């Protein structure tokens, strides 16, 4: 099953530190890890919300990854808006197992920068320099 996860700069840095193989542990106030089921929804979050918010660094990235559908079906799907706003709810305590079930690597498939984003961007990849240096 192909899933998407909209992330900000710090979460992307942590994904990069894992070698693009795992999502970081949830914080105490984040009981659920929720990848989304459509690119459109992930893009909407990354572009419309993350680029206007200091917490994600005024930028948003859409990551894409695969997990076995038989495994993913063990988690609840929640519709949180329109028919494209569907999330897979993974309890934080199960994120380690979820990460082990990721097939291949986590890919960055879209990026968005807000007006207040102030980090250097690699001209070739259009990704923040600190991410590109870890991918090399």
* 80-128 pLDDT, tens digit each: 878 789 999 999 999 999 999 999 999 999 999 999 999 999 999 999 9
> What's the pLDDT band for 133 if we cut at 50, 70, 90?
confident
Does residue 6 have a pLDDT over 70? yes
Residue 100 lies in domain: 2-135
* 16-26 pLDDT, tens digit each: 999 999 999 99
In this prediction the pTM is 0.93
> What's the pLDDT band for 67 if we cut at 50, 70, 90?
very high
Does residue 54 have a pLDDT over 60? yes
Complete DSSP assignment for 45-114: IIIIIGGG-TTTTSEEEEEEEEE-HHHHTTSEEEE-SSTT-EEEEEEGGGHHHHHHTEEEEEEEEEEEE-
Q: How many domains does the chain have?
A: 1
Does residue 47 have a pLDDT over 90? yes
The enclosing domain of 120 has a CATH number of 3.20.170
């Amino acid at each position: 099953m192909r899933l998407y996860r909209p992330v900000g700069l710090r979460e992307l840095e942590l994904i990069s530190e894992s070698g693009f193989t795992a999502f970081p542990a949830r914080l105490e106030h984040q009981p659920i890890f929720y990848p989304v089921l459509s690119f459109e929804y992930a893009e909407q979050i990354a572009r419309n919300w993350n680029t206007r918010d200091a917490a994600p660094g005024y930028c948003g990235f859409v990551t894409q990854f695969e997990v076995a559908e038989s495994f993913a079906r063990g988690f609840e799907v929640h519709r949180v808006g329109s028919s494209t706003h569907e999330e897979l709810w993974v309890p934080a305590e199960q994120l380690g197992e979820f990460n082990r079930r990721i097939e291949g690597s986590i890919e960055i498939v879209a990026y968005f920068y807000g007006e207040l984003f102030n980090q250097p961007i690699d001209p070739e990849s259009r990704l923040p320099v600190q991410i590109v240096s870890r991918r090399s």
